[in-house]
Each structure stands twice: as C-alpha cells, then as structure tokens.
Structure 1
Amino acid sequence: MHTRHPRGLTLPAHRLPDLPGRVAIPGQSRGASPLTLFNTAPPEIAERTLLACLHSRTWARLVAGHRPYPDADALLAAADEAAYDLGAADLAEALAAESLPDLPEDTYSAAHTALNAAQAAYEARFGHAFVICLDEVPAEERLDRVLADIRSRLANDPEEERLVAAEQLRRLARGRLRRCLKGAGDCATSR
C-alpha cells in the first residue's frame, strides 16, 4: 500500500470562529422540512440559526421577522435583500465574525505563511478579515483563488472593498442558508 506524504510541514486549516447557535433548529421533529422548522421556530431560535449563516443581528432580525416563507427561494431572496440593506456597522459586525477559508489539510506551511502575510496586509489596509465565497470553486483551486483575490483586492480603495466584502458576505450567507435548508444542520460550516 502506497501512502502519500505531504511535501513539507502542514499547519492546521483556518477555522470559522465558534458562533453561538450553530445547530440549525434544535429538537427537529421527524418528517418536517428544515424550512417548516425554521418558519415555526421561536424568534430567538430562528435568529440564532441565521446568525450562524451571517453574524449580523440586524440581518438575522430582518430575515426572521418576515417568516413564514412559502418556499426556499423566497427565504433566499429575503436573505439577499436584507444583506443588501446592511449598513457599515452591520457589515463590521459580520466581518468581525469571519475568518479565512479552510485550506486543505495537506497544504504546505509556505502557503499558510503566504496566506497569513496577505491577510495581515489586508487587515492593516481595511481593518477587517478578508472574506471570499468559494462555494463554486473546486477544492484544488481554492488556495490559488484565495491568494490571487486577496492580492487583487488589496489594490481596491476602502469604499470599493467594502462593497466587494459585502457581496462576498451575502454570497457566504446564501450558501450557508441553502445548506441549512437542505438539512445539513450546521450553517456555520460553509466551506
């Protein structure tokens, strides 16, 4: 049996910080769809579920406050609309809860070093974590995409980058919420 060894030291992948309420809906009853459970959950449970998708209390209150949703598309559309309406403080709250995307377990330590250096430069320039939605990027291309995007986005002016980061947060929230609706249970594991 041939065992594959990584080409250098590896470091642990970056992880999303522990967010309260990561379980979609506690005490799910058998047979009920995740959307039905979300629609009928007490407001604080629905908001906690949403906070695990995007850590903005304003966004969570807006989306939870318009329940019940007739279908998943209506919920996703409402989530998008609420994300577009977030102000600077709401975006700052959401960005503060984000971290770098996970890297494959066998990623070289040099890649971690490069990513950490790029992240430090980004945070120094913009004052928040770099966010990117990688939902449609194949796993083998994610590291290159993150490094290319972070370097490219460092050239943005702060207002332009705020708009790009807000769009990436909206896409992250949409993907996390979509996974919750499929019954994945944990909105915070988005990668």
Structure 2
Amino acid sequence: MAGDSNAAAARARAIPAPGRAGHASGGPAVRTPEGLAAFNAAPAGAAEAALLACCGSRGWARRVAAHRPYPTLDALLAAADEAGYDLHGEDLDEALADETSADLPPGTPAAAHTAWEAAQSQYESRFHHAFVICLDGHRPAEQLNQALSAIHTRMSHPPEKERAIAADELRRLARARLSRLIGRADTVGSPSVPV
C-alpha cells in the first residue's frame, strides 16, 4: 500500500490479511471467534494496516480501528459499512487508487482475456481508476459474465454516477474482505475476482 512503512507492514502480519482484488487466494483466515479478539487486541498500527488490506483509505482504516473493541463481527461490519458510506473526496480517491484490476482465472479462453483487457482499458481511460465490483453471491463460473456485463453497463454512466457506484462496490468489497480477515466466509462465490 502506498505510504505504508516497513514497520507498519511488519505489525500487520499479526493479523492475517484477506486476499485483494485480482488474486485468487483469500489468504489465511482465522476461523474461530479469536479472530475478532485478535483484531480488537492488536496495536492500532497493526489493526489499521490489516484494515488497509480491506479498503485502501487510511481515513476509513483509522475510523474503523478507533472504535474497537467490537463485541461481534456484525458490529464490526456495521462500523465498516458506516465508514464506507462516508468515503468521499480524497478518501474515496485514495481507496480507488489502491484497487487493481483483476486477472482472469487460469484456463479462461483467450477471447475472454482479450475482451476483458479491452473493457478494463476503456473503463480506466474513461474513469481514471480500476473497475471495482464485488461478486459475492455469484458462483465462480458466473463471475466473468457478471463482471463483463457490469463493466459494459457502467461504461455508459456519467462520471458522478459511476463514482457513486464504485464507492458502493468498494464498501461491499471491504465488507467481504473484512469478513475473511476476521474469519467468516459465508458467501457463495469468492469476491476476489472483484476487479
């Protein structure tokens, strides 16, 4: 992440980080209630660094970390949602700049790669940030079609409308990543194809 120091990165290792957009692996996840306890007990810098793996806004990470301890994962997710709804201006710019476009899974036909790369390039040229979408609830086999359909639809939006949609998708992605960070993976498809 831009601006992270080596010390902050070292502290972040105390909390397993979820996978980021474009990576097929969700990374190690704590599957016990101790995941939330570890997050609540982590030093502020480590908690913020772990949260930055969920959403690239330092303001969002500071806000969510500052309200610890959280009694339940649902309380943490509600706080993350609230902070996500407040992403505007520079905080939203920072979060969008931290996202990267996803690569397609191995075995995807060459024609799909070509279509996807062209769509991403066109989107990034128009909106000046990576295309972000949370694909929770979609099976892996459906995710490419969902992403291609969404990117083509969203390309026609005026910049202000697309920025609002991207902010909502970031909030959904942050929620999915935070659930994996703490240890609850209760979604159908992996949100890690989010692009």
| TM-score interval (norm. to shorter) | 0.7 to 0.9
- The normalised TM-score by structure 1 is 0.80
Residue 50 in structure 1 maps to residue 51 in structure 2? yes
> What displacement does 1:32 show?
6.7
> What displacement does 1:183 show?
6.9
* Residues 35-184 of structure 1 mapped to structure 2, 5 A cutoff: 35-182=36-183
The structure whose Rg is larger is 1
Render the CA deviation track for 1:161-184: whole Å, top value 9, x for unaligned.
Answer: 001000000000000000111178
Alpha carbons 1:54, 1:173 under 8 Å: kept: yes
Secondary structure in structure 1 of the residue aligned to 2:54: coil
Secondary structure in structure 2 of the residue aligned to 1:173: helix
| Structure 2 CA distance for partners of 1:109 and 1:24, relative to 1, 3 Å | farther
**For residues 50 and 140 of structure 1, what CA distance do their matches in structure 2 show?**
29
- Higher helix fraction (1 or 2): 2
Alpha carbons 2:48, 2:61 under 8 Å: kept: yes
Among residues 22, 25, 34, which one is paired with 2:15 in the alignment? 25
- Tell me the amino acid that sits aligned with residue 25 of structure 1: I
> What displacement does 1:147 show?
0.7
Alpha carbons 1:24, 1:180 under 8 Å: kept: no
> What displacement does 1:106 show?
0.4
> What displacement does 1:104 show?
2.3
Equivalent position of 1:4 in the other structure: none
- Tell me the amino acid that sits aligned with residue 66 of structure 2: G
Computed over aligned residues only, the root mean square deviation of the Cα atoms, in angstroms, reads 2.3
> What displacement does 1:39 show?
0.5
Please, which runs of 5 or more residues in structure 1 have no aligned partner?
1-18
**For residues 23 and 90 of structure 1, what CA distance do their matches in structure 2 show?**
24
Render the CA deviation track for 1:9-41: whole Å, top value 9, x for unaligned.
Answer: xxxxxxxxxx95774617xxxx87010111010
**For residues 15 and 140 of structure 2, what CA distance do their matches in structure 1 show?**
29
Please, which runs of 5 or more residues in structure 2 have no aligned partner?
17-31
- The normalised TM-score by structure 2 is 0.78
- Tell me the amino acid that sits aligned with residue 38 of structure 1: F
- Tell me the amino acid that sits aligned with residue 15 of structure 2: I
Once structures 1 and 2 are overlaid, which stretch shifts more, 152-161 or 94-103?
94-103
**For residues 190 and 146 of structure 1, what CA distance do their matches in structure 2 show?**
11
Q: How many residues align?
A: 166
Alpha carbons 2:14, 2:42 under 8 Å: kept: no
| Structure 2 CA distance for partners of 1:151 and 1:32, relative to 1, 3 Å | closer
Render the CA deviation track for 1:31-81: whole Å, top value 9, x for unaligned.
Answer: 870101110100000000100011110000000000011111110000000
**For residues 167 and 116 of structure 1, what CA distance do their matches in structure 2 show?**
23
> What displacement does 1:103 show?
2.2
